[in-house]
C-alpha cells in the first residue's frame, strides 16, 4: 500500500458549516439594518444556485469566473424574491463575502491540527484563493496550502482540479487522500487514483438531516478528528 | 495612503538563512556518510548557479523547470568538482532537497506570527509550491499562502510573479507590500506599484558581511520582527 503523504479537503460542508454560518451572519446583519427576511430560505436557495452557476462556466456559457463573483451574481438574482431590495454595492459585496466567514465544524480545527503533524493538509475547493485565505484566517484553519479553483481555472469535479493539486504537491495520486462529505467529489477523485475518505456531515443541510450513504471509500468517519484517529 | 492588506516575502535569504543551513546540513550528511568536502564552497557555488539556471529558463534555452529540479541539475554539475562522486539517485535527491530544509533567521517566525494577525502573510518565491510547503513545515513558518513560481511558471523578477500574486489575492498592487533583502526584487515590485520593505540581512553570504544598501523603499528594517513593529 502506497503511503499517504497529503490530504486534500473539500471545504464547504466538509470542513465548515456553511448553512448555520450563513443563517447566523445574514440574520445578524438583517437585525443591525432593520431588515427582516427568510434568511434560512435565502441560504438554501443561494446554495441551490451554486452548482448551476459553476455548470454555466464549465459548459462555456460564461467565461471563467471566481466563486466569489458567482456568489455575488447569485445573491443579486435571489435577493428581490426574498423582499430585500435597495442595497448598495458595498452591502452586496459584504453579504456575498459571507462565504468567507463560515465557521468550522466543532472537530475541524483540532482534527486538521493533528493531521498536519504527519501529513500535508490542504484545501481543495471550488472557492478561490482569496476566499479560502480569508476563511482560514476567520476560522483558524491551519492549512499547509489552499488549492483554490482559480489555480487551475476549473471547478470540481473536473479532473484538472485533483490532478493539478497532486502535480503541485509533486505526488502521485495514490499518495494523496481526498476527504469530503460528498460522494460525487470522492468518486471523481477515486477514478483518478486518489485515495478517499468520506466524512459524514448529516447536519450539512440543517439539524436532523441524514448523511450521504457511505460508499466504497478507503475510510468512512464521522469527523476530521475521527479521520486523524483512523489514520 | 492606500492601506496595506497583504505582505509578500522573498524567502531565500530574507526569511531563511540558506548558507548556514546548507553548510550544516551537508556537513552532517558528509560526516554520516564518511565524505569530506569543502561544503561551504559547495554552498556558495550552488547558490552561484541559481540565477544563471533561472535565466536559462527565462530565455527559453530550457523549458519550464521547477526550482527543485534546477537545484538538482546544478548540484549534479558541481559535485564532481568538489570530489564527491558515486552518489545514487536517492542520495542526490536528498541533497538537492536541502533547500527544503532551511532554517529561519531568529526573528522570522515571531515576526511573521505577529504580522499574520493584521495582514495576509505570503511567500513570493522562486521556489516551487512543494518546496515552500516542505520548508514551512520544517521551519514552522506560519504562511497564509505560498506563491510558488510554478503557479505562474515565471521566476522573479518577471512581472507575472508580483502581479499574479496580487491577482490571486484580489488586491491592487498598492495594497501589497513586497519584503525582501535584495534591492533587485524590491525594484521590480516597486515598478509595478507594490509597496516595498527592505529587510537587511548582512550575514546572508556569511558572518561579517554587509547588507545591500538601503534604497528608496517605503520601509527599511533589520528583521521581520522590526517590520512588524514599523507597521
Q: What does the domain layout of chain B look like in residue ranges?
A: 6-17+103-230, 20-100
Residues near B202 by beta carbon (within 8 Å), at least 6 away in sequence: B209, B210, B211
User: Cis before residue B157, ω within 30 degrees of 0?
Assistant: yes
Q: Which of A29-38, A50-59, B131-140, B211-220 has the lowest mean pLDDT?
A: B211-220
Task: Tell me which residue in A120, A130, A136 faces B168 most closely, judged by beta carbons.
Answer: A130
Spell out which residues of chain B touch residue A149, defining contact as CB-CB under 8 Å: none
Task: Tell me which residue in B128, B133, B169 faces A144 most closely, judged by beta carbons.
Answer: B133
CATH number of A6-17+104-230: 3.40.50.1000
Reported pTM = 0.96
Which fold, A18-100? DNA polymerase; domain 1 (1.10.150)
Please give the C-alpha separations between residue A46 and each of A90, A231, B29, in angstroms, as whole numbers: 19, 35, 57
Task: Tell me which residue in A66, A120, A148 faces B133 most closely, judged by beta carbons.
Answer: A120
Q: Do residues B179 and B197 lie in contact, with contact meaning Cβ atoms separated by under 8 Å?
A: yes
- Express each pLDDT in B192-221 by its tens digit: 999 999 999 999 999 888 777 667 999 999
Spell out which residues of chain B touch residue A64, defining contact as CB-CB under 8 Å: none
- Express each pLDDT in A15-36 by its tens digit: 999 999 999 999 999 999 999 9
Which of A118, A131, A137 to mutate: most B Cβ within 10 Å? A137
Q: Mean pLDDT for chain A?
A: 96
Please name the residues between 116 and 155 in chain A that touch chain B, using a CB distance below 8 Å: 116, 120, 128-130, 133, 136-137, 144-146, 148, 150-151
Task: Determine, for residues A168 and B136 on separate chains, whether the beta-carbon distance falls below 8 Å.
Answer: no
Give the C-alpha separation, A19 to A27, whole Å: 12
Which of the 8 DSSP states describes residue B151?
G
Distance from CA of A94 to the nearest CA of B (A): 15
Share of chain B above pLDDT 90, in %: 95
Distance from CA of B167 to the nearest CA of A (A): 9
- Express each pLDDT in A156-193 by its tens digit: 999 999 999 999 999 999 999 999 999 999 999 999 99
CATH number of B6-17+103-230: 3.40.50.1000
Query: What SS3 class is residue A184?
Result: helix
Give the C-alpha separation, B231 to B220, whole Å: 11
| Strands ordered across the beta sheet of B219-221 | B145-147, B120-124, B6-9, B176-180, B195-199, B219-221
Spell out which residues of chain A touch residue B145, defining contact as CB-CB under 8 Å: 129, 133, 145-146
Report ipTM for this prediction: 0.95
Residues near A203 by beta carbon (within 8 Å), at least 6 away in sequence: A17, A20, A209
Could you name the CATH architecture of B20-100?
A: Orthogonal Bundle (1.10)
Partner A contacted by B5 (CB < 8 A) = no
Residues near A204 by beta carbon (within 8 Å), at least 6 away in sequence: A13, A17, A18, A19, A181
Amino acid at each position: 500500500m502506497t503511503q499517504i503523504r497529503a490530504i486534500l479537503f473539500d471545504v464547504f460542508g466538509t470542513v465548515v458549516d456553511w448553512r448555520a454560518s450563513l443563517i447566523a451572519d445574514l440574520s445578524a446583519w438583517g437585525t443591525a439594518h432593520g431588515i427582516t427576511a427568510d434568511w434560512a430560505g435565502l441560504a438554501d436557495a443561494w446554495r441551490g444556485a451554486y452548482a448551476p452557476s459553476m455548470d454555466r462556466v464549465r459548459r462555456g456559457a460564461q467565461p471563467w469566473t471566481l466563486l466569489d463573483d458567482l456568489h455575488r451574481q447569485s445573491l443579486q438574482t435571489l435577493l428581490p424574491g426574498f423582499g430585500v431590495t435597495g442595497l448598495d454595492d458595498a452591502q452586496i459585496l459584504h453579504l456575498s463575502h459571507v462565504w468567507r466567514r463560515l465557521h468550522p465544524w466543532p472537530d475541524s480545527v483540532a482534527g486538521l491540527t493533528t493531521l498536519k503533524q504527519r501529513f500535508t493538509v490542504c484545501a481543495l475547493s471550488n472557492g478561490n484563493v482569496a476566499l479560502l485565505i480569508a476563511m482560514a484566517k476567520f476560522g483558524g484553519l491551519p492549512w499547509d496550502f489552499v488549492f483554490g479553483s482559480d489555480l487551475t481555472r476549473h471547478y470540481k469535479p473536473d479532473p484538472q482540479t485533483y490532478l493539478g493539486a497532486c502535480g503541485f504537491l509533486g505526488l502521485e495520486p495514490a499518495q494523496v487522500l481526498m476527504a469530503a462529505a460528498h460522494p460525487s467529489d470522492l468518486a471523481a477523485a477515486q477514478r483518478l487514483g486518489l485515495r478517499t475518505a468520506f466524512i459524514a456531515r448529516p447536519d450539512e443541510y440543517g439539524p436532523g438531516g441524514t448523511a450521504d450513504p457511505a460508499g466504497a471509500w478507503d475510510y468512512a468517519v464521522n469527523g476530521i478528528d475521527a479521520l486523524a484517529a483512523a489514520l
